[in-house]
Amino acid sequence: MSAGRLRVPARARRGEVIEIRLLLEHPMENGFRRDTLGRAVPKNIINTLVARYDGREILRAEFGTGIAANPYLAFFTRATASGEVVVSWVDDAGLAGEVRAPIEVG
């Protein structure tokens, strides 16, 4: 239900600032919409997203209903050691997702 794509450079020099790009598949229902039968569609958004690199938290995002459907997020981090970038999230329905990508630092 909620999948994601994560893009990080495969290799980086130590100390280099690298861009991490993330695209999630999620309707981000804001709770104001009605379906074709006029029933209110309950609010269901990805409310929390955490990015970790080599075990350390590099970004924590708390989303509101003002984030567009299929959230896109690009941010930066400093390449310190070879390791994995792990992004995990959870929505209002309690559904969690996770994407990972390795990075080699030389």
Partner 1 sequence: MRRRRFLQISGAGVAAVALPLRAQQLLPAHDLQPLIRGIAGAAEPMPGRIRIVLPQLAENGNSVPLEIRVDSPMTATDHVRSVHVFAERNPRPLVASFRFGPDAGRTQLTTRIRLAGSQRVVALAVLSDGSCWTDGAEVVVTSAACLDEMSL
Q: Please state, in angstroms and rounded to a whole number, the distance separating the CA atoms of residues 17 and 78.
A: 4
Choose which of 6, 59, 90, 101 interacts with partner 1 (CB under 8 A).
59
> Among residues 46 and 97, whose Cβ is nearest to partner 1?
46
Phi then psi for residue 42, to 5 deg, are -65, 150
Q: Does 13 bind partner 1 (CB under 8 A)?
A: no
Q: How long a stretch of residues is the chain?
A: 106
| Rounded Cα gap, residues 66 and 89, in angstroms | 17
**Among the candidate windows 3-11, 30-38, 90-98, which touches partner 1 by CB under 8 A?**
30-38
Closest CA to 91 of 28, 3, 11: 28
Using the rule CB under 8 A, is 2 a contact of partner 1? no
Q: Can you tell me which of 5, 11, 14, 78 binds partner 1, judged by CB under 8 A?
A: 78
Q: Which residues bind partner 1 (CB under 8 A)?
A: 17-18, 30, 32-34, 53, 56-69, 71-78, 80
